[in-house]
Structure 1
Amino acid sequence: MKKSVLILGNNPAADMVVKQLNEKQQYNVTQIKQGDFTDHATYFNLDPEISIIVSFIGPQDVDLAIQELFDAVRGQQIKIEHFIMLSTAGIDNEVIGKLNYPGVKDVTEYLREQRYAIKIIDEAEIPYTVFRLVDLLVKKTGAGYTINEGKPVPAGNVSYETVAAFVVQAVTQNKFINQSVALLEDS
Protein backbone atom coordinates (compact mmCIF):
# COMPACT_ATOMS: atom_id res chain seq x y z
CA MET A 1 0.00 0.00 0.00
CA LYS A 2 1.28 3.46 -0.90
CA LYS A 3 2.04 5.98 1.82
CA SER A 4 0.48 9.38 1.30
CA VAL A 5 2.87 12.31 1.79
CA LEU A 6 1.85 15.97 2.01
CA ILE A 7 4.53 18.54 1.17
CA LEU A 8 3.78 22.11 2.28
CA GLY A 9 5.62 25.10 0.84
CA ASN A 10 7.43 26.17 -2.25
CA ASN A 11 11.20 26.25 -2.53
CA PRO A 12 13.78 24.31 -4.55
CA ALA A 13 14.30 21.69 -1.82
CA ALA A 14 10.55 21.03 -1.59
CA ASP A 15 10.39 20.53 -5.36
CA MET A 16 13.36 18.12 -5.23
CA VAL A 17 11.68 16.09 -2.47
CA VAL A 18 8.45 15.88 -4.49
CA LYS A 19 10.37 14.72 -7.57
CA GLN A 20 12.42 12.11 -5.69
CA LEU A 21 9.44 10.68 -3.81
CA ASN A 22 7.33 10.57 -6.99
CA GLU A 23 10.06 8.41 -8.56
CA LYS A 24 9.48 5.83 -5.84
CA GLN A 25 6.45 3.63 -6.38
CA GLN A 26 5.45 3.41 -2.71
CA TYR A 27 4.53 7.10 -2.23
CA ASN A 28 1.54 9.18 -3.25
CA VAL A 29 2.75 12.79 -3.01
CA THR A 30 0.63 15.93 -2.81
CA GLN A 31 2.16 19.39 -2.62
CA ILE A 32 0.46 22.59 -1.52
CA LYS A 33 2.81 25.22 -2.92
CA GLN A 34 0.83 28.39 -2.43
CA GLY A 35 -1.89 29.89 -0.35
CA ASP A 36 -2.21 31.38 3.08
CA PHE A 37 -0.72 28.68 5.28
CA THR A 38 -2.07 30.51 8.33
CA ASP A 39 -5.65 30.08 7.06
CA HIS A 40 -7.60 27.00 8.14
CA ALA A 41 -9.24 26.87 4.68
CA THR A 42 -5.87 26.00 3.11
CA TYR A 43 -6.08 22.61 4.81
CA PHE A 44 -9.76 21.96 4.10
CA ASN A 45 -10.37 18.49 2.64
CA LEU A 46 -6.90 17.04 3.15
CA ASP A 47 -6.39 13.50 1.90
CA PRO A 48 -7.56 11.34 4.84
CA GLU A 49 -4.82 8.84 4.01
CA ILE A 50 -1.96 11.29 4.67
CA SER A 51 0.57 9.60 6.92
CA ILE A 52 3.59 11.88 6.49
CA ILE A 53 3.68 15.69 6.38
CA VAL A 54 6.76 17.69 5.41
CA SER A 55 6.65 21.43 6.14
CA PHE A 56 8.79 23.87 4.18
CA ILE A 57 6.53 26.72 5.39
CA GLY A 58 8.09 30.05 6.26
CA PRO A 59 9.90 32.12 7.05
CA GLN A 60 7.22 34.26 8.75
CA ASP A 61 4.22 33.12 10.81
CA VAL A 62 5.23 29.46 10.82
CA ASP A 63 3.76 29.11 14.31
CA LEU A 64 0.33 30.25 13.11
CA ALA A 65 0.56 27.99 10.05
CA ILE A 66 1.50 24.91 12.09
CA GLN A 67 -1.30 25.63 14.57
CA GLU A 68 -3.88 25.82 11.74
CA LEU A 69 -2.47 22.69 10.11
CA PHE A 70 -2.64 20.67 13.34
CA ASP A 71 -6.17 21.94 14.05
CA ALA A 72 -7.20 20.73 10.58
CA VAL A 73 -5.45 17.36 11.00
CA ARG A 74 -7.19 16.80 14.35
CA GLY A 75 -10.54 18.02 13.02
CA GLN A 76 -10.33 15.68 10.03
CA GLN A 77 -9.08 12.82 12.24
CA ILE A 78 -5.99 12.21 10.10
CA LYS A 79 -3.47 9.85 11.69
CA ILE A 80 0.00 11.26 11.09
CA GLU A 81 2.88 8.79 11.42
CA HIS A 82 5.70 11.30 10.91
CA PHE A 83 5.87 15.10 10.77
CA ILE A 84 9.00 16.71 9.31
CA MET A 85 9.64 20.42 9.73
CA LEU A 86 12.32 22.59 8.19
CA SER A 87 13.29 25.24 10.72
CA THR A 88 16.40 27.31 11.34
CA ALA A 89 19.51 26.92 13.40
CA GLY A 90 19.79 29.53 16.12
CA ILE A 91 16.48 29.00 17.91
CA ASP A 92 18.37 27.84 21.02
CA ASN A 93 21.31 30.25 20.68
CA GLU A 94 23.43 27.30 19.52
CA VAL A 95 25.00 29.01 16.50
CA ILE A 96 28.60 30.10 16.69
CA GLY A 97 28.92 33.02 14.28
CA LYS A 98 26.24 34.86 12.34
CA LEU A 99 23.51 33.44 10.12
CA ASN A 100 21.55 35.32 7.49
CA TYR A 101 17.76 35.31 7.65
CA PRO A 102 16.56 36.39 4.18
CA GLY A 103 13.09 37.93 4.17
CA VAL A 104 13.06 38.29 7.97
CA LYS A 105 12.73 41.79 9.41
CA ASP A 106 12.55 40.92 13.12
CA VAL A 107 14.94 38.04 13.85
CA THR A 108 13.96 37.80 17.53
CA GLU A 109 10.27 37.37 16.65
CA TYR A 110 11.13 34.96 13.82
CA LEU A 111 13.10 32.71 16.20
CA ARG A 112 10.27 32.89 18.75
CA GLU A 113 7.78 31.77 16.07
CA GLN A 114 10.04 28.86 15.11
CA ARG A 115 10.32 27.75 18.76
CA TYR A 116 6.56 27.90 19.24
CA ALA A 117 5.89 25.91 16.04
CA ILE A 118 8.26 23.19 17.26
CA LYS A 119 6.50 23.19 20.65
CA ILE A 120 3.15 22.62 18.89
CA ILE A 121 4.65 19.66 17.03
CA ASP A 122 6.22 18.21 20.18
CA GLU A 123 2.96 18.50 22.12
CA ALA A 124 1.06 16.67 19.36
CA GLU A 125 2.87 13.53 20.55
CA ILE A 126 3.50 12.16 17.07
CA PRO A 127 6.86 11.10 15.65
CA TYR A 128 8.61 14.19 14.33
CA THR A 129 11.85 15.38 12.80
CA VAL A 130 13.07 18.97 12.86
CA PHE A 131 15.86 19.94 10.50
CA ARG A 132 17.49 23.18 11.67
CA LEU A 133 19.04 24.87 8.65
CA VAL A 134 21.97 27.23 8.38
CA ASP A 135 22.32 29.58 5.37
CA LEU A 136 20.80 28.03 2.23
CA LEU A 137 22.74 27.83 -1.02
CA VAL A 138 21.68 26.90 -4.53
CA LYS A 139 24.90 25.02 -5.30
CA LYS A 140 26.21 22.15 -3.18
CA THR A 141 29.64 22.82 -1.63
CA GLY A 142 30.43 19.52 0.07
CA ALA A 143 29.12 16.51 1.95
CA GLY A 144 26.11 17.09 4.15
CA TYR A 145 26.17 16.26 7.84
CA THR A 146 24.07 16.70 10.97
CA ILE A 147 24.72 18.13 14.41
CA ASN A 148 22.54 16.92 17.26
CA GLU A 149 20.38 19.25 19.31
CA GLY A 150 22.19 20.85 22.22
CA LYS A 151 25.56 20.90 20.46
CA PRO A 152 27.16 24.10 19.11
CA VAL A 153 26.46 24.75 15.42
CA PRO A 154 28.98 26.73 13.37
CA ALA A 155 27.49 29.36 11.09
CA GLY A 156 27.76 27.77 7.68
CA ASN A 157 25.93 26.71 4.57
CA VAL A 158 23.73 23.93 3.30
CA SER A 159 22.37 23.47 -0.22
CA TYR A 160 18.80 22.79 -1.25
CA GLU A 161 20.08 19.49 -2.67
CA THR A 162 21.45 18.37 0.70
CA VAL A 163 18.29 19.47 2.51
CA ALA A 164 16.20 17.44 0.04
CA ALA A 165 18.43 14.37 0.48
CA PHE A 166 18.04 14.42 4.28
CA VAL A 167 14.27 14.95 4.04
CA VAL A 168 13.96 12.01 1.64
CA GLN A 169 15.98 9.86 4.08
CA ALA A 170 13.65 10.89 6.91
CA VAL A 171 10.59 9.95 4.83
CA THR A 172 11.82 6.73 3.23
CA GLN A 173 14.05 5.31 5.97
CA ASN A 174 12.34 6.68 9.10
CA LYS A 175 15.60 8.36 10.05
CA PHE A 176 15.91 11.12 12.63
CA ILE A 177 12.67 10.17 14.44
CA ASN A 178 11.99 12.47 17.42
CA GLN A 179 15.17 14.41 16.72
CA SER A 180 16.04 18.01 16.03
CA VAL A 181 19.26 18.19 14.05
CA ALA A 182 21.15 20.98 12.33
CA LEU A 183 22.03 20.42 8.66
CA LEU A 184 25.31 21.69 7.25
CA GLU A 185 27.76 20.99 4.44
CA ASP A 186 31.52 20.72 4.40
CA SER A 187 32.95 23.72 2.60
Structure 2
Amino acid sequence: MKNILVMGTNNQVGQVLLKQSQDVTNSELKFTFIDNDKVDFESADQLAPKLQSADILVINTVGWDADYMLDAVMDAIEMQSIKLERIIFRSVAGVDDEYPLDKIQVVAKNQPEFIKQQQYAGKLVDESEIPYTILRPTNIEETANQQYQLIKEGQPMQTAKNVSAVAVAQVIIKAVLTDDLVNQSIGICG
Protein backbone atom coordinates (compact mmCIF):
# COMPACT_ATOMS: atom_id res chain seq x y z
CA MET A 1 0.00 0.00 0.00
CA LYS A 2 1.33 3.43 -0.97
CA ASN A 3 0.19 6.40 1.04
CA ILE A 4 -0.22 9.64 -0.87
CA LEU A 5 -0.40 12.73 1.32
CA VAL A 6 -1.89 15.77 -0.44
CA MET A 7 -1.31 19.17 1.12
CA GLY A 8 -3.99 21.58 -0.01
CA THR A 9 -7.59 21.10 -1.07
CA ASN A 10 -8.70 24.70 -0.45
CA ASN A 11 -8.28 25.58 -4.12
CA GLN A 12 -9.80 24.54 -7.47
CA VAL A 13 -7.14 21.95 -8.27
CA GLY A 14 -7.37 20.47 -4.77
CA GLN A 15 -11.14 20.03 -5.03
CA VAL A 16 -10.85 18.29 -8.40
CA LEU A 17 -7.95 16.16 -7.16
CA LEU A 18 -10.03 15.07 -4.17
CA LYS A 19 -12.78 13.87 -6.54
CA GLN A 20 -10.39 12.29 -9.05
CA SER A 21 -8.53 10.39 -6.34
CA GLN A 22 -11.77 8.59 -5.52
CA ASP A 23 -11.88 7.36 -9.11
CA VAL A 24 -8.38 5.88 -9.02
CA THR A 25 -9.01 2.14 -9.12
CA ASN A 26 -5.59 1.15 -7.83
CA SER A 27 -6.27 -0.52 -4.49
CA GLU A 28 -2.60 -0.15 -3.63
CA LEU A 29 -2.98 3.62 -3.19
CA LYS A 30 -4.43 5.48 -0.23
CA PHE A 31 -4.94 9.25 -0.54
CA THR A 32 -4.97 11.48 2.54
CA PHE A 33 -5.73 15.19 2.30
CA ILE A 34 -4.73 17.91 4.75
CA ASP A 35 -5.27 21.66 4.72
CA ASN A 36 -3.64 24.56 6.48
CA ASP A 37 -6.80 25.28 8.45
CA LYS A 38 -6.00 22.17 10.57
CA VAL A 39 -2.22 21.87 10.10
CA ASP A 40 0.16 24.82 9.98
CA PHE A 41 2.04 24.19 6.74
CA GLU A 42 4.89 26.39 8.00
CA SER A 43 5.42 24.25 11.13
CA ALA A 44 7.79 21.30 10.86
CA ASP A 45 6.48 20.00 14.20
CA GLN A 46 2.89 19.86 12.90
CA LEU A 47 3.86 18.44 9.51
CA ALA A 48 6.18 15.68 10.75
CA PRO A 49 3.47 13.35 12.13
CA LYS A 50 1.48 13.69 8.89
CA LEU A 51 4.54 13.00 6.73
CA GLN A 52 5.68 9.92 8.66
CA SER A 53 3.24 7.56 6.96
CA ALA A 54 3.50 9.17 3.51
CA ASP A 55 5.24 7.52 0.57
CA ILE A 56 4.42 10.26 -1.93
CA LEU A 57 3.89 13.89 -0.96
CA VAL A 58 1.79 16.16 -3.20
CA ILE A 59 2.17 19.84 -2.36
CA ASN A 60 -0.83 21.54 -3.95
CA THR A 61 -0.74 24.95 -2.37
CA VAL A 62 -0.21 28.15 -4.29
CA GLY A 63 0.15 31.58 -2.82
CA TRP A 64 2.53 33.56 -0.68
CA ASP A 65 5.19 31.97 1.51
CA ALA A 66 5.81 28.77 -0.47
CA ASP A 67 9.43 29.22 0.59
CA TYR A 68 8.55 29.05 4.31
CA MET A 69 6.26 26.08 3.72
CA LEU A 70 8.93 24.11 1.85
CA ASP A 71 11.47 24.96 4.56
CA ALA A 72 9.07 23.42 7.10
CA VAL A 73 8.46 20.34 4.93
CA MET A 74 12.19 19.74 4.50
CA ASP A 75 12.84 20.34 8.21
CA ALA A 76 10.11 17.82 9.11
CA ILE A 77 11.58 15.25 6.71
CA GLU A 78 15.05 15.73 8.17
CA MET A 79 13.86 15.87 11.80
CA GLN A 80 12.06 12.54 11.59
CA SER A 81 14.33 10.86 8.98
CA ILE A 82 11.26 10.45 6.76
CA LYS A 83 11.87 8.46 3.58
CA LEU A 84 9.61 9.70 0.80
CA GLU A 85 9.55 7.99 -2.59
CA ARG A 86 8.59 11.19 -4.37
CA ILE A 87 7.54 14.82 -3.97
CA ILE A 88 5.12 16.43 -6.43
CA PHE A 89 5.17 20.20 -6.06
CA ARG A 90 2.69 22.46 -7.81
CA SER A 91 4.29 25.79 -8.56
CA VAL A 92 3.34 28.27 -11.30
CA ALA A 93 4.37 29.08 -14.84
CA GLY A 94 6.87 31.91 -14.79
CA VAL A 95 9.47 30.53 -12.38
CA ASP A 96 11.84 29.86 -15.27
CA ASP A 97 11.15 33.11 -17.15
CA GLU A 98 9.13 31.06 -19.61
CA TYR A 99 5.83 32.86 -18.95
CA PRO A 100 5.18 36.61 -18.63
CA LEU A 101 5.04 37.82 -15.03
CA ASP A 102 2.20 40.23 -15.78
CA LYS A 103 -0.03 37.30 -16.80
CA ILE A 104 0.28 35.53 -13.42
CA GLN A 105 -3.10 35.79 -11.69
CA VAL A 106 -2.37 33.85 -8.49
CA VAL A 107 -1.20 37.05 -6.86
CA ALA A 108 -2.47 40.49 -7.74
CA LYS A 109 0.69 42.41 -6.88
CA ASN A 110 4.42 41.99 -6.59
CA GLN A 111 4.74 39.06 -8.98
CA PRO A 112 8.57 39.28 -8.95
CA GLU A 113 8.68 38.62 -5.19
CA PHE A 114 6.12 35.82 -5.53
CA ILE A 115 8.22 34.19 -8.26
CA LYS A 116 11.34 34.41 -6.06
CA GLN A 117 9.49 32.51 -3.34
CA GLN A 118 8.36 29.88 -5.83
CA GLN A 119 11.91 29.56 -7.21
CA TYR A 120 13.35 29.05 -3.74
CA ALA A 121 10.69 26.45 -2.90
CA GLY A 122 11.41 24.61 -6.15
CA LYS A 123 15.13 24.71 -5.41
CA LEU A 124 14.49 23.07 -2.02
CA VAL A 125 12.50 20.30 -3.73
CA ASP A 126 15.18 19.82 -6.39
CA GLU A 127 18.04 19.71 -3.88
CA SER A 128 16.26 17.38 -1.45
CA GLU A 129 17.69 14.28 -3.17
CA ILE A 130 14.15 12.89 -3.21
CA PRO A 131 12.73 12.07 -6.66
CA TYR A 132 10.42 14.93 -7.59
CA THR A 133 8.09 16.43 -10.13
CA ILE A 134 7.59 20.19 -10.24
CA LEU A 135 4.44 21.25 -12.08
CA ARG A 136 4.23 24.79 -13.46
CA PRO A 137 0.67 25.39 -14.73
CA THR A 138 -0.46 28.60 -16.35
CA ASN A 139 -3.46 30.33 -14.75
CA ILE A 140 -6.21 27.98 -13.65
CA GLU A 141 -9.59 28.57 -15.25
CA GLU A 142 -13.02 27.28 -14.31
CA THR A 143 -13.87 24.92 -17.11
CA ALA A 144 -14.31 21.19 -17.53
CA ASN A 145 -11.85 21.13 -20.43
CA GLN A 146 -9.56 18.14 -19.91
CA GLN A 147 -7.11 19.05 -22.68
CA TYR A 148 -3.62 20.13 -21.75
CA GLN A 149 -0.11 20.38 -23.11
CA LEU A 150 3.07 19.58 -21.19
CA ILE A 151 5.97 21.94 -21.80
CA LYS A 152 9.51 20.86 -20.99
CA GLU A 153 11.67 23.04 -18.78
CA GLY A 154 13.40 25.77 -20.72
CA GLN A 155 10.75 25.91 -23.44
CA PRO A 156 8.85 29.20 -23.82
CA MET A 157 5.24 29.51 -22.71
CA GLN A 158 4.80 33.15 -23.76
CA THR A 159 1.59 32.48 -25.69
CA ALA A 160 0.36 29.58 -23.56
CA LYS A 161 -3.35 29.48 -22.75
CA ASN A 162 -4.90 29.04 -19.33
CA VAL A 163 -5.50 25.48 -18.16
CA SER A 164 -8.36 23.87 -16.27
CA ALA A 165 -8.15 22.55 -12.72
CA VAL A 166 -9.33 19.21 -14.15
CA ALA A 167 -6.30 19.04 -16.45
CA VAL A 168 -3.83 19.96 -13.69
CA ALA A 169 -5.34 17.34 -11.36
CA GLN A 170 -5.00 14.75 -14.15
CA VAL A 171 -1.29 15.54 -14.45
CA ILE A 172 -0.87 15.23 -10.67
CA ILE A 173 -2.54 11.80 -10.76
CA LYS A 174 -0.26 10.82 -13.67
CA ALA A 175 2.77 11.91 -11.63
CA VAL A 176 1.55 9.77 -8.72
CA LEU A 177 0.79 6.67 -10.82
CA THR A 178 3.77 6.65 -13.21
CA ASP A 179 7.45 7.49 -13.35
CA ASP A 180 6.99 9.44 -16.61
CA LEU A 181 7.55 12.86 -15.00
CA VAL A 182 10.15 12.01 -12.35
CA ASN A 183 12.92 14.55 -11.77
CA GLN A 184 11.36 17.02 -14.17
CA SER A 185 9.94 20.53 -14.00
CA ILE A 186 6.99 20.53 -16.36
CA GLY A 187 4.88 23.43 -17.64
CA ILE A 188 1.17 22.76 -18.09
CA CYS A 189 -1.04 24.87 -20.34
CA GLY A 190 -4.37 24.63 -22.14
Shift in Å, 1:173: 1.6
Shift in Å, 1:135: 1.1
**How many Å separate the matches in 2 of 1:16 and 1:141?**
12
Cα deviations across residues 81-100 of structure 1 (Å, max 9, x unaligned)?
11001111111211258413
State whether residues 99 and 155 of structure 1, in contact with CA within 8 Å, keep that contact through their aligned partners in structure 2. Answer: no
**Which runs of 5 or more residues in structure 1 are unaligned?**
none
Q: Percent identity?
A: 30
**How many Å separate the matches in 2 of 1:19 and 1:144?**
19
| Greater Cα offset, 162-171 or 92-101 | 92-101
Q: How does 1:86-165 map to 2 (within 5 A)?
A: 86-95=90-99, 98-141=102-145, 143-153=147-157, 154-165=159-170
104 and 65 in structure 1: CA distance in 2 versus 1, 3 angstrom threshold = farther
Report the equivalent of 2:7.
8
TM-score normalised by structure 2 residue count: 0.89
| Greater Cα offset, 52-61 or 100-109 | 100-109
Report the equivalent of 2:189.
184
**How many Å separate the matches in 1 of 2:18 and 2:141?**
19
TM-score normalised by structure 1 residue count: 0.90
- Which letter maps to 1:6? L
The answer as to 2:10 corresponding to 1:19 is no
Shift in Å, 1:65: 0.1
**How many Å separate the matches in 2 of 1:102 and 1:126?**
27
Shift in Å, 1:16: 2.4
148 and 81 in structure 1: CA distance in 2 versus 1, 3 angstrom threshold = same
The answer as to 2:43 corresponding to 1:34 is no
State whether residues 145 and 167 of structure 2, in contact with CA within 8 Å, keep that contact through their aligned partners in structure 1. Answer: no
**Which runs of 5 or more residues in structure 2 are unaligned?**
none
CA RMSD of aligned residues (A): 1.8
The answer as to 2:174 corresponding to 1:169 is yes
174 and 13 in structure 1: CA distance in 2 versus 1, 3 angstrom threshold = same
Cα deviations across residues 107-130 of structure 1 (Å, max 9, x unaligned)?
111000000001101111111001
- Which letter maps to 1:3? K
Q: Give the secondary structure class of the aligned counterpart of 2:172.
A: helix
Shift in Å, 1:104: 4.1
